């Protein structure tokens, strides 16, 4: 069975796109081959800066002939129907077969599709793959209309048979004819060369200074770089992303190590590392004893007669120019930091954060106010939290962060330290951006937590206030990440601060309707929220109006503000579902907990959901849920039928069976236990109290017929069921749990 080799040779493909492109080439090409009936034994794809390559081994030489039997109309069907069937099946009438069936004689067609040679299938598939290749960005060149990531120069496409004979698959796309030639290293081995198989191709390239496999190049770089660093008693700073990128910039990696001039060694290591990585794609080499970055590793794309001396000297020169800049920024920044950094804060007044949300300085005012409010909730001093919040964004004005935005926060920390600010303020400058994603560390230092929460809540309430919410895949201000950040800060630090407490301050800071009254008066006890919530559902009655007026509130403003608040809370709940789903908690379990009071207390919500989820995974939990559902269904039906609510008055004296009496006893024993546990927010204990109800409930349903003719007994049993329903619903809204 033949092997297929494809190489798409182009001008330099951006490093970040190569690996994905190779995978896409393999997936799309093999999918198309299989779709057309060409199965294969194995396939692998490769990329270098100038080529994508694909090898498919053990390919069928032609697609198999296929047969299909198709049932047609009855022989006495109208002529038109029979003609239509013939057309659809592509057969002549004399080829039809007649079979006697129950309903009469029926036509059958046997359709044969002859196999096609692999060449034809490959040519079609490859043209399609090339024309519709999913590059993140593609371009045209010259006078042509073909799109590729950069100009495509040649296509190698050969089939190699078992005897090792290779033949070109005929194919032409926009004037490029497929052939059997490739090209070696641009400088070390220019010129075209013919290849006959994948192994020959790979070996030919290696001889011509091209390592085909990106992983192999990365390994070579890593090995050589660590060895060179080790040889100088140093260690390479690991950077997988950079390694992958650099492997995509070279076909023939040559590792060169050079020193950093002494005058730059006192720069913060992160500054050295970032400058070298961003501008020059250098690896950092660290002294393990001091933690200082002392050398760099650059990866050239070739060998030279002088052993890379000219290349290294050139790179070193560029590095010095870059680090001179960094040093200049650092020294200028330190001068400002040491005076307290007021100039930076002043400058933020001229920086627009968002045209509807004002300047960075205004944003800082809001964050500072919010951080003050949050501080007591996280157990820290409001003054310290406010100071930290006011400093947190100062480094955005610094020259270093202007040059390297990714150093924001970190520079704030260094500059706070230089200014002699409290350690908590310095730490908060760095940590308040966290967590940046699901795997980023969550700060735990109280001041950092206060500023981090204030920062994110201001962002969320602000964009909600101006109605710039994330839609579909569009989330330009990373609000989902901010909401997840709030959730993780609250949950992982076990903060017991209902959103109802914090969010209004955010909205207030944004000058929403709420700012016309003091939210502390209104929202602290939830009474305010309840009034507002009522506005959603009923026309405003005089009493409500009076209450609002007493607070100096125009209810129309309030309603808008409340809708923003409710909407944001729903957004939090959606993010929470995503967060909990990652922890294997089902969405219906979360819904059951969101339906409970206090659902804006995220930590409480998570505790409840976790306990319920664990409980439902046990045998007791699963059976109790069934018992609850059965009780609830029976009750609902009876209540609908009777037009009354069975909620009170079950009495053991009307019990007729032992099972009924046992259930009374179990409820009497467990209800106080469950309630006390819920009161104490010990959901695990509440659930185990519920577990104790499972056996009596099961036994009760097993032995007792609810709907008896004796009305007193029936009512008593329904009221007993309602005790089950009530106690279960106090733990979570189990009606929302599926199953």
Partner 1 sequence: MAEQSTRPRSFQEILLRLQTYWAGQGCAVLQPYDMEVGAGTFHPATTLRSLGPVAWSAAYVQPSRRPTDGRYGENPNRLQHYYQYQVLIKPSPPDLQSLYLGSLPAIGIDMDLHDIRFVEDDWESPTLGAWGLGWEVWCDGMEVSQFTYFQQVGGHDCHPVSGELTYGLERLAMYVLGVDHVMDMPYNDPAAPIPLRYGDVFRQTEQEYSRWNFDVADTAMLFDHFEEAEAECRAILAAPETDPKTGKRIVMAHPAYDQCIKASHIFNLLDARGVISVTERQAYIGRVRALAKACADAFVKTEAGGWAA
Nearest to 259 by CA among 226, 222, 218, 287: 287
304 binds partner 1 (CB under 8 A): yes
Distance CA 331, CA 400 (A): 10
Q: Provide CB contacts within 8 A for 633, sequence distance 6+.
A: none
140 binds partner 1 (CB under 8 A): yes
454 binds partner 1 (CB under 8 A): no
Count of residues that bind partner 1 according to CB under 8 A: 43
The residue from 171, 195, 255, 311 that contacts partner 1 (CB under 8 A) is: 311
Distance CA 424, CA 380 (A): 10
Q: Angle, nearest 10°, between helix axes 309-338 and 269-280? A: 130
Vertex 372: Cα angle to 371 and 377 (nearest 5):
85
20 binds partner 1 (CB under 8 A): no
By beta-carbon proximity to partner 1, the closer residue of 332 and 441 is 332
Nearest to 232 by CA among 214, 201, 257: 257
The residue from 297, 319, 479, 631 that contacts partner 1 (CB under 8 A) is: 319
Q: Provide CB contacts within 8 A for 256, sequence distance 6+.
A: 297, 298, 299, 300, 308, 311, 312, 315
**CA dist list (Å): 380 to 230, 259, 332, 639:** 46, 46, 33, 53
The residue from 92, 262, 321, 550 that contacts partner 1 (CB under 8 A) is: 321
By beta-carbon proximity to partner 1, the closer residue of 15 and 122 is 15
* Minimum CB–partner distance for residue 292 and partner 1 (Å): 22
3-state secondary structure of 267: coil
The residue from 223, 310, 657, 707 that contacts partner 1 (CB under 8 A) is: 310
Q: Which stretch, 303-311, 459-467, 575-583, 689-697, contacts partner 1 (CB under 8 A)?
A: 303-311
* Minimum CB–partner distance for residue 400 and partner 1 (Å): 17
Convert residues 141-180 into a mask of x (bound to partner 1 by CB under 8 A) and - (unbound).
xxxx----xxx-x---------------------------
Q: What are phi and psi of 434, to 5 degrees?
A: -80, 160
Q: Which stretch, 295-303, 527-535, 566-574, 687-695, contacts partner 1 (CB under 8 A)?
A: 295-303
Distance CA 316, CA 499 (A): 54
Convert residues 64-103 into a mask of x (bound to partner 1 by CB under 8 A) and - (unbound).
----------------------------------------
352 binds partner 1 (CB under 8 A): yes
State which of positions 32-51 bind partner 1 (CB under 8 A). Answer: 49
Distance CA 377, CA 30 (A): 58
Strands 152-160 and 176-179: parallel
139 binds partner 1 (CB under 8 A): yes
355 binds partner 1 (CB under 8 A): yes
The residue from 52, 54, 178, 300 that contacts partner 1 (CB under 8 A) is: 300
DSSP bridge pairs for 57: 42
State which of positions 98-137 bind partner 1 (CB under 8 A). Answer: 137
The residue from 92, 163, 262, 305 that contacts partner 1 (CB under 8 A) is: 305
Residue with token string 């935005």? 405
Q: Which stretch, 120-128, 230-238, 350-358, 371-379, contacts partner 1 (CB under 8 A)?
A: 350-358
Tokens of 573: 């709940």
Distance CA 535, CA 556 (A): 9
The residue from 48, 160, 301, 430 that contacts partner 1 (CB under 8 A) is: 301
By beta-carbon proximity to partner 1, the closer residue of 12 and 733 is 12
Q: Which stretch, 294-302, 460-468, 481-489, 566-574, contacts partner 1 (CB under 8 A)?
A: 294-302
DSSP bridge pairs for 354: 358
The residue from 44, 343, 351, 570 that contacts partner 1 (CB under 8 A) is: 351
Nearest to 630 by CA among 569, 583, 693, 684: 693
364 binds partner 1 (CB under 8 A): no
249 binds partner 1 (CB under 8 A): yes
By beta-carbon proximity to partner 1, the closer residue of 301 and 610 is 301
Distance CA 666, CA 652 (A): 12
Q: How many CB atoms lie within 10 A of CB 42?
A: 11
Nearest to 262 by CA among 292, 225, 297: 292
408 binds partner 1 (CB under 8 A): no
Q: Are 4 and 60 in contact (CB under 8 A)?
A: no
CA gyration radius for the chain? 36
Convert residues 195-234 into a mask of x (bound to partner 1 by CB under 8 A) and - (unbound).
----------------------------------------
131 membership: H or E segment, kind and range: helix 118-131
DSSP bridge pairs for 673: none
The residue from 30, 315, 599, 670 that contacts partner 1 (CB under 8 A) is: 315
Q: How many CB atoms lie within 10 A of CB 618?
A: 14
Q: Which stretch, 177-185, 296-304, 518-526, 691-699, contacts partner 1 (CB under 8 A)?
A: 296-304
356 binds partner 1 (CB under 8 A): no
Interface with partner 1 (CB under 8 A)? 11-12, 14-16, 49, 137, 139-144, 149-151, 153, 187, 190, 249-250, 280, 298, 300-302, 304-306, 310-311, 313-315, 317-319, 321, 324, 350-352, 355
């Amino acid at each position: 069975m033949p092997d297929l080799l494809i190489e798409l040779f182009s001008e330099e493909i951006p490093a970040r796109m190569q690996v994905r492109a190779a995978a896409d080439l393999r997936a799309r090409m093999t999918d198309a081959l299989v779709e057309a009936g060409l199965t294969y034994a194995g396939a692998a794809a490769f990329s270098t800066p100038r080529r994508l390559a694909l090898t498919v081994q053990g390919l069928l030489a032609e697609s198999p002939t296929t047969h299909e039997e198709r049932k047609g109309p009855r022989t006495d069907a109208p002529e038109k129907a029979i003609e239509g069937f013939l057309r659809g099946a592509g057969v002549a009438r004399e080829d039809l077969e007649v079979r006697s069936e129950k309903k009469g004689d029926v036509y059958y067609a046997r359709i044969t599709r002859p196999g096609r040679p692999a060449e034809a299938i490959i040519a079609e598939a490859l043209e399609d793959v090339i024309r519709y290749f999913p590059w993140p960005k593609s371009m045209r060149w010259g006078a042509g209309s073909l799109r590729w990531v950069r100009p495509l120069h040649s296509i190698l496409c050969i089939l190699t048979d078992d005897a090792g004979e290779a033949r070109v698959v005929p194919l032409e796309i926009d004037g490029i004819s497929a052939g059997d030639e490739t090209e070696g290293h641009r400088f070390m081995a220019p010129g075209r060369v013919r290849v006959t198989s994948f192994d020959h191709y790979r070996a030919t390239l290696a001889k011509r200074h091209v390592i085909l496999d990106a992983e192999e190049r990365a390994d070579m770089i890593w090995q050589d770089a660590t060895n060179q660093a080790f040889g100088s008693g140093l260690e390479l700073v690991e950077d997988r992303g950079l390694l992958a990128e650099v492997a995509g910039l070279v076909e023939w990696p040559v590792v060169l190590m050079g020193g950093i001039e002494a005058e730059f060694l006192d720069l913060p290591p992160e500054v050295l590392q970032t400058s070298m990585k961003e501008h020059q794609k250098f690896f950092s080499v660290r002294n393990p004893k001091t933690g200082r970055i002392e050398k760099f590793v650059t990866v050239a794309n070739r060998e030279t007669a002088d052993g890379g001396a000219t290349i290294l000297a050139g790179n070193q020169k560029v590095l010095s120019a870059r680090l001179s800049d960094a040093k200049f920024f650092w020294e200028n920044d330190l001068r400002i930091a040491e005076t307290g950094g007021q100039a930076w804060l002043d400058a933020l007044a001229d920086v627009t954060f968002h045209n509807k949300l004002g300047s960075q300085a205004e944003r800082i005012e809001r964050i500072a106010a919010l951080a003050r409010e949050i501080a007591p909730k996280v157990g820290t001093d409001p003054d310290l939290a406010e100071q930290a919040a006011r400093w947190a964004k100062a480094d955005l004005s610094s020259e270093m962060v202007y040059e390297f935005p990714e150093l924001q926060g970190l520079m704030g920390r260094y500059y706070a330290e230089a200014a002699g600010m409290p350690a908590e303020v310095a730490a908060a400058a760095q940590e308040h951006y966290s967590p940046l994603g699901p795997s980023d560390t969550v700060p735990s230092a109280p001041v950092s937590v206060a500023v981090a929460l204030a920062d994110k809540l201001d962002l969320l309430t602000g964009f909600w206030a101006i109605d710039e919410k994330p839609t579909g895949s569009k989330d330009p201000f990373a609000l989902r990440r901010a909401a997840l950040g709030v959730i993780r800060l609250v949950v992982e630090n076990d903060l017991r601060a209902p959103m109802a407490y914090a969010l209004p301050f955010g909205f207030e800071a944004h000058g929403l309707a709420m700012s016309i009254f003091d939210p502390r008066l209104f929202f602290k006890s939830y009474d305010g929220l309840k009034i507002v919530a009522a506005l959603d559902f009923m026309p405003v009655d005089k009493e409500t109006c009076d209450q609002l007026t007493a607070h100096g509130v125009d209810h129309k403003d309030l309603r808008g503000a409340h809708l923003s608040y409710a909407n944001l809370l729903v957004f939090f709940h959606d993010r929470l579902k995503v967060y909990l789903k990652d922890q294997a908690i089902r969405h219906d379990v979360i819904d059951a907990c969101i339906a409970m009071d206090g659902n804006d207390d995220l930590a409480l919500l998570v505790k409840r959901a976790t306990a319920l989820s664990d409980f439902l995974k046990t045998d007791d939990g699963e059976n109790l849920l069934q018992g609850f559902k059965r009780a609830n269904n029976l009750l609902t039906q009876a209540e609908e039928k009777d037009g009354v609510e069975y909620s009170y008055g079950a009495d053991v004296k009307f019990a007729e069976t032992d099972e009924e009496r046992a259930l009374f006893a179990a409820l009497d024993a467990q209800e106080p236990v469950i309630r006390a546990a819920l009161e104490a927010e010990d959901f695990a204990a509440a659930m185990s109290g519920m577990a104790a109800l499972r056996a009596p409930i099961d036994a009760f349903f097993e032995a007792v017929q609810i709907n008896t003719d004796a009305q007193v007994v029936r009512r008593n049993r329904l009221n007993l069921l309602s005790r089950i329903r009530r106690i279960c619903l106090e733990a979570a809204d189990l009606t929302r749990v599926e199953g």
